[in-house]
Amino acid sequence: MTTFQIESVTTLTFDIFGTVLDLSGSLIPPLNDLLDECPDTAQISGADVWASWRHRQRIEQYQDNLLMLGHSGYLKVKKRALLYTLRSMKVQFKLGQIDEFMDAYNHLAPFPDAIAGLNKLKNKFKIVMLSNGEHSYLEKLAAENIGIEFDSIYSAETAGQFKPHPSVYRLAANSLNLEPNEIMMVAAHSFDILGARHSGYRGAYVDRYDLPYDESNFIPDITVLNFDELCQNLEV
């Protein structure tokens, strides 16, 4: 059982990339195809690139926040991070190959449990997308890749910062005309839950990747493995 009053939460905000959409499952196969086209990559797998790339993505976003460069674009950051990762791994590629690979972001597939869970949760809560992606891109993903109508979609682009900057969470709370403690952030990344909890939200950490939560006083209210367990904890 949860240690907070479920009744106080009216709205669930969802991270999309890696929580609802399966990034590794969607991107590792085309990464393998990219590597097959590059010379001397027999000892490098798409999974190897993904492991390094995903960490570099976070650094790129934090750099933008710390240097007050604003929201420079979700896909632009992903591309910058991929270029850095491939170069650090001494992969010889052409820029045109990277542009072609980036089309994979139009074909991201959702986790099956996320779709079933969202359909259940929307019967009890307002479901809101709160993501680092650009608003137009998020609308496209909601309609074409996820296939679920969210009550609202908010982009970090509007706040001019990447999550976990507090302005992103304030943007959603203010736009929804809700107190932060009426909102629960649902994410598979501990930095996102940490940022939301610091901003007064409730938090549900979906531990899809068997990773420890950040060492912080801003801990999740609930920790689950998937959306099936999330529904059980939220009594849906």
State the Cα–Cα distance between residues 211 and 4, nearest whole angstrom. 24
Q: Which CATH fold would you assign to the domain 6-22+108-233?
A: Rossmann fold (3.40.50)
Cβ burial of 73 (10 Å; 0-12, 13-18, 19+) is middle
Q: Which residue intervals of the chain bear CATH 3.40.50.1000?
A: 6-22+108-233
**How many CA atoms, within 13 angstroms, populate the side-chain half-sphere of residue 150?**
26
Q: Which residue intervals of the chain bear CATH 1.10.150.240?
A: 23-106
What is the architecture, at CATH level 2, of domain 23-106?
A: Orthogonal Bundle (1.10)
Spell out the per-residue pLDDT of the chain, length 236, in tens: 445 678 899 999 999 999 999 999 999 999 999 999 999 999 999 999 999 999 999 888 888 777 667 778 899 999 999 999 999 999 999 999 999 999 999 999 999 999 999 999 999 999 999 999 999 999 999 999 999 999 999 999 999 998 999 999 999 999 999 999 999 999 999 999 999 999 999 999 999 999 999 999 999 999 999 999 999 999 99
3 state SS of 213: coil
